[in-house]
Structure 1
Amino acid sequence: MNKKLIGRVHHGSLKKQTSGESAFTLVELLVVIAIIGVLVALLLPAVQAAREAARRIQCSNNLKQLGLGALNYESARGYFPISYGTGWDNAGGIDQPGAGWILSTLPYLEQQSLYDRFAAASAFEGKMPKTNICPDRPPRPRNAGISSAPACDLMEIQLASLHCPSDDAETEEEIPPNWARKVATTSYKGVLGDTWLGSSGQSGSVFHNNSARYPSGNYDTIDPRYSASNPRDCHHDTRCRGIFFRQTLQEPIKIGSISDGMSNTAMVGEDIVALNGHSVAFYADGDWNSCNIPLNYGTNTPNPTAFRNDWSNARGFKSRHPGGVQFVYADGSVHFLDDATDHGLFRASCTRNEGEAL
């Protein structure tokens, strides 16, 4: 093959390679971008749903651990974890340190060291911080004699197990009403029962439910120390029909009193910290709700601050899980209660000794 032929062959191959090259036109590029956008739009809800499913499972695990912790406490002590009242409830002269039932449960949540630190700070001996007596970090003025108690610092310790991953509150940055410093909060509240929280005189009568199938907000007896003028309201005294309320120090709840059945009685449920100013994790007035208020009431409020401050309507069970709220029952099982659950049946599941057939 001579040089002239070689040159022709080489030249022809270059020409063929050049003519075979291709590129995206503008229209083709836009079509590809549109397809990618559609795929992302289809995929994103699935990703979000998967993430929410994972958060809900984690929340269920948190509730399960709380429920088992409470049951183990009951097995060891003979009664469920107690709350030590609050500073403004006299309780016939009984000292009320203000420590909540969650604080009592800590040793059974693998938090023995934190419990010991609270005990060393006299949290169970009248030195538990109450409302606004915990000022900002040092230097602290000595206010009311106990504002510099070491328990004030312990109140800031946020436990992941007390926070639902779907609850979007900035838990470690929360400064609840009547508290002068940041404190740890909880997404999980003990079931008080189904009492009407009407003592505030605000709008508690919205859910008095005279016509409910189970109007168990009524009480046959009146405790003159607290609620003589509110026969439907037990949250100041010991008449509550749930398992956790702030006066259980006077009358600890035993398993034997759950005559409705362990598997029929809700023990702890979810709440949204940003919609309930009473959510301080270790305080006896921050760890309970009432089932008198319908499930997820207020979650779509246009004014969260105003709703949160209307405490008698804010202290109901709610969550950021779509469609319902999770509860752990007295047998340790966790259940998801749909928003469509009949309100009378829901209230009945929150009392331990009313004899309702569920």
Structure 2
Amino acid sequence: MRKTMKSAGFTLVELLVVIAIIGILVGLLLPAVQAAREAARRMSCSNNFKQLGLAMQNYHSNYKNLPAHSAGTTYAANSGTPDPRLPVAGGGGHNRNELSYLPGLLPFMEQQGLWEQISNPMDYNGDGTVDYQAMGPDPRMTLAHHGTAPYTPWLTDIPTLRCPSDPGVGLPAQGRTNYAACLGDSPHHMHVGNEQDNGLTPNANWALAEKAACRGVFVASNETKFRDILDGLSNTIAAGEIATSLGDRDKRTHPPQAPTSIMATSGNPQGPDNALACRGMLDPIRPRFWVAGAPFVQSPIAVGGSVQEWTRGMKWAYGRPLQSGMNTILPPNSEICMQGNVHNEGILPPSSRHQGGAHILMADGAVVFMSDSVEAGNSSAPPVRWDSWAINPAGSPSPYGLWGALGTRASSEVVEESLNQ
């Protein structure tokens, strides 16, 4: 007599249990996978910054100084003629001393081809007439100013200058950067230094203002040498990471205009004239964003251009602080705040799309991930500047604690903490 064999299989209940277990495991694994991806992106970002630091070291080895920031070419007797934003028949034009520290580093970061385009005159349409002189036009020009002869080098996205965690891409940006020059611990004169424009007689007050307030590794319109960094290369920030704008009202990327001075022009440390001048415009429900209707600053030459292109890190070749500069007043990922318009001084802390902090590049080439909670002294204190009434006159230690001290190159402050822990 034959026995009938029962066919092997799973019951519906067993299948549902297995599916439920798989779903739970996937749910548990997804955050770990995302965290692993972000860790890889953060490592890639750090490597990009290290490449930039190595380029600085090689540049200094070649030229015995670091590349100048907010410098370039200009016709000093009349810097507005010919118009630096437009191609000029016969090859006129200049960049109005508006280049950031980045163009000069291109040959040292494997961008020799792009450097060749920039360092030579450009005949855009091949008609035998030079459209742009060597070192290009003013990078602040909008796409509307480019007309039929765009200066393509300034519009080029350079992978080494981009953090993989920053999703910003495409227009209205015109060549994004996530790495900004450190301009010190004071906004005063951070956008011009002691630059003399239009052939003016040198201004003694400007020279005093620069010496007092422009205390970072990079000083507008000047070249810094390693020998000028008396606080030590390993104790001084050369550059910081910045997040670029995504077109929202993010407090780290969209610049509002300060309702009062950000530089304590009244000399009153208890007044609203300080780094916190814009804080009252933060959205109480979404504190990472500005409240709707906040007075965002614009460019005085933005005619025909997009307001969004005048946000953080949208023009890598442009040397003004909003686009390629940072300072050590408020801690990383704090709000930015501009004085007057997008070309002027600002409270511009580093920022990132990483969790809990942002990368900084030390002058010795080391890359450190700086926490948002770094000790930053008294944020409401007036900055160091030159004035007869200044609360913190020239030579004062940074009022912004360890964070401020790391941003100064020669203030004789002692750093008692290891940054690599």
State the TM-score, normalizing by the size of structure 2: 0.60
Distance, in Å, in 2 between the alignment partners of 1:70 and 1:159 is 16
SS of the residue corresponding to residue 332 of structure 1 reads coil
Match of 1:98 in 2: 98
Cα separation, partners in 2 of 1:278 and 1:92, compared to 1, 3 Å: farther
Unaligned regions of 5+ residues in structure 1, if any? 1-7, 141-147, 177-182, 201-221, 300-307
Match of 1:22 in 2: 9
Structure 2 residue 357 is matched with structure 1 residue 320: no
Letter in 2 for 1:190: A
Q: Deviations over 1:280-330 (max 9, x none)?
A: 11121222111112211149xxxxxxxx97986662201111111111111
**Contact 2:118–2:136 (8 Å) recurs in 1:** no
Distance, in Å, in 2 between the alignment partners of 1:292 and 1:73 is 28
Match of 1:283 in 2: 318
Unaligned regions of 5+ residues in structure 2, if any? 80-93, 123-131, 192-202, 246-252, 255-310, 377-400, 416-421
User: Which one has a larger percent helix, Structure 1 or Structure 2?
Assistant: 1
Match of 1:45 in 2: 31
Cα separation, partners in 2 of 1:32 and 1:117, compared to 1, 3 Å: same
**Equivalences for 1:96-245 in 2 at 5 Å?**
96-121=96-121, 127-132=136-141, 134-135=143-144, 140=148, 148=149, 152-170=151-169, 173-176=170-173, 183-196=174-187, 224-225=205-206, 239-245=213-219
Deviation at 1:135, TM superposition (A): 2.5
Distance, in Å, in 2 between the alignment partners of 1:223 and 1:316 is 29
Cα separation, partners in 2 of 1:116 and 1:199, compared to 1, 3 Å: closer
Distance, in Å, in 2 between the alignment partners of 1:160 and 1:346 is 29
**Contact 1:190–1:245 (8 Å) recurs in 2:** no
Match of 1:292 in 2: 329
Letter in 2 for 1:283: Y
**Contact 1:86–1:130 (8 Å) recurs in 2:** no
SS of the residue corresponding to residue 75 of structure 1 reads helix
Distance, in Å, in 1 between the alignment partners of 2:104 and 2:72 is 15
**Contact 2:239–2:326 (8 Å) recurs in 1:** no
**Equivalences for 1:245-324 in 2 at 5 Å?**
245-248=219-222, 252-274=223-245, 275=253, 277-279=311-313, 280-285=315-320, 286-298=323-335, 315-324=348-357
Distance, in Å, in 2 between the alignment partners of 1:39 and 1:260 is 52
**Contact 1:260–1:352 (8 Å) recurs in 2:** yes
Deviation at 1:20, TM superposition (A): 3.9
Deviation at 1:99, TM superposition (A): 1.9
**Contact 1:92–1:225 (8 Å) recurs in 2:** no
Deviation at 1:111, TM superposition (A): 1.1
SS of the residue corresponding to residue 320 of structure 1 reads coil
Deviation at 1:56, TM superposition (A): 1.0
Match of 1:73 in 2: 59
**Contact 2:102–2:317 (8 Å) recurs in 1:** yes
Letter in 1 for 2:318: Y
Deviation at 1:198, TM superposition (A): 9.5
Match of 2:412 in 1: 355
The correspondence for 2:362, drawn from 314, 329, 344, is 329
Q: What's the % identity of the aligned pairs?
A: 32
Match of 1:179 in 2: none
Match of 2:381 in 1: none
**Across the two proteins, how many residue pairs are aligned to each other?**
287
**Contact 2:67–2:101 (8 Å) recurs in 1:** yes
Structure having the higher Rg? 1
SS of the residue corresponding to residue 19 of structure 2 reads helix
**Contact 2:234–2:362 (8 Å) recurs in 1:** yes
**Contact 1:238–1:247 (8 Å) recurs in 2:** no
Superposed CA RMSD in Å reads: 3.4
Cα separation, partners in 2 of 1:44 and 1:269, compared to 1, 3 Å: same
SS of the residue corresponding to residue 189 of structure 1 reads strand
